[in-house]
């Protein structure tokens, strides 16, 4: 898979910390670990792809306020339903392999996929989390990838739109903030209105678009909703 960075958040004053500390694996090590421990990935993770994701993380970190941790990232797509979950899982694995504690959350309630990547149950997960008052740590599952935990999509429900609109997901999982350095939420193939709702509270948003498939209209509809939610300058990735 090749990523083409079309637009990234502008550089701002941010953290001076080393993005990839001494405890991190190199790109080849991250890819090897992922392919061994996350056998359910849609395709093998390559060192080249890990390198592209690290470049993206470096750019996003420049716009991330040093006093705000963890870094909250939402990932969605415009006519890239098959690729967005893989990109999200790969991004989380890359962060974890770089030595950071990562929470991956599957908010793609219309087509949950991330639990399959790690051979885990989707439930209990987001649907149970948003329909209860239980503390969010009860829904966190460790994965076979070191440093990476998952909150799956949860049991299927007919009213997932109402659940996602009821309370902002990032707000609901805020009590977990001191346990992780990255919280990455997958929006999957949710419609733009729900993407905006789920992404509310994110520091960065990544939009995957499919080369020769996604249209400018598809992309604009998501960007407009994000703008209304106060989220500007999402990173747009071209997937071929």
Under DSSP, the state recorded for 15 is -
Q: What span, in angstroms and rounded, lies between the C-alpha atoms of 82 and 79?
A: 9
DSSP state of 42: S
Name the residue ranges covered by the structural domains of the chain: 3-239
Of the candidate ranges 20-24, 70-74, 132-136, 145-149, the one whose mean pLDDT is the lowest: 20-24
Q: pTM (2 decimals)?
A: 0.86
Q: What's the pLDDT tens digit per position in 85-98?
A: 888 999 999 999 98
Q: Which CATH number fits domain 3-239: 3.40.50.300, 3.40.50.170, 3.60.15.10, 3.30.420.10?
A: 3.40.50.300
Using CA atoms, how far apart are residues 83 and 109, in angstroms rounded to an integer? 16
Residue 202 near residue 73, CB atoms below 8 Å: yes
Distances in Å between the Cα of 234 and the Cα atoms of 10, 42, 81, 213 are 10, 25, 18, 19
C-beta atoms surrounding 111 within 10 Å:
13
pLDDT tens by residue, 119-162: 999 999 999 999 999 999 999 999 999 999 999 999 999 999 99
| Helix axes 27-37 and 84-97, enclosed angle (nearest 10) | 120
Compute the radius of gyration of the chain from its Cα atoms.
Answer: 16
């Amino acid at each position: 898979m090749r990523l083409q960075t079309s637009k990234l958040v502008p550089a701002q004053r941010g953290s001076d910390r080393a993005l990839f500390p001494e405890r991190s694996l190199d790109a080849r090590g991250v890819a090897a670990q992922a392919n061994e421990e996350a056998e359910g990935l849609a395709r093998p993770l390559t060192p080249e792809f890990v390198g592209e994701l690290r470049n993206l993380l470096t750019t996003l970190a420049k716009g991330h306020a040093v006093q705000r941790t963890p870094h909250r990232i939402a990932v969605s797509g415009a006519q890239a339903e098959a690729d967005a979950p893989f990109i999200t899982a790969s991004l989380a694995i890359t962060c974890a392999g770089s030595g950071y504690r990562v929470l991956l959350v599957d908010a793609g309630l219309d087509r949950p996929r991330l639990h399959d990547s790690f051979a885990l149950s989707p439930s209990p997960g987001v649907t149970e989390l948003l329909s209860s008052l239980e503390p969010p740590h009860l829904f966190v599952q460790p994965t076979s990838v070191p440093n990476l935990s998952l909150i799956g999509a949860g049991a299927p429900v007919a009213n997932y739109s109402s659940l996602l609109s009821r309370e902002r997901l990032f707000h609901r999982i805020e009590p977990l903030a001191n346990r992780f350095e990255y919280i990455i939420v997958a929006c999957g193939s949710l419609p733009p209105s729900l993407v905006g709702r789920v992404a509310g509270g994110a520091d960065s948003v990544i939009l995957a678009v499919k080369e020769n498939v996604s249209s400018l209209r598809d992309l604009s509809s998501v960007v407009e909703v994000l703008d209304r939610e106060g989220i500007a300058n999402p990173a747009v990735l071209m997937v071929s």
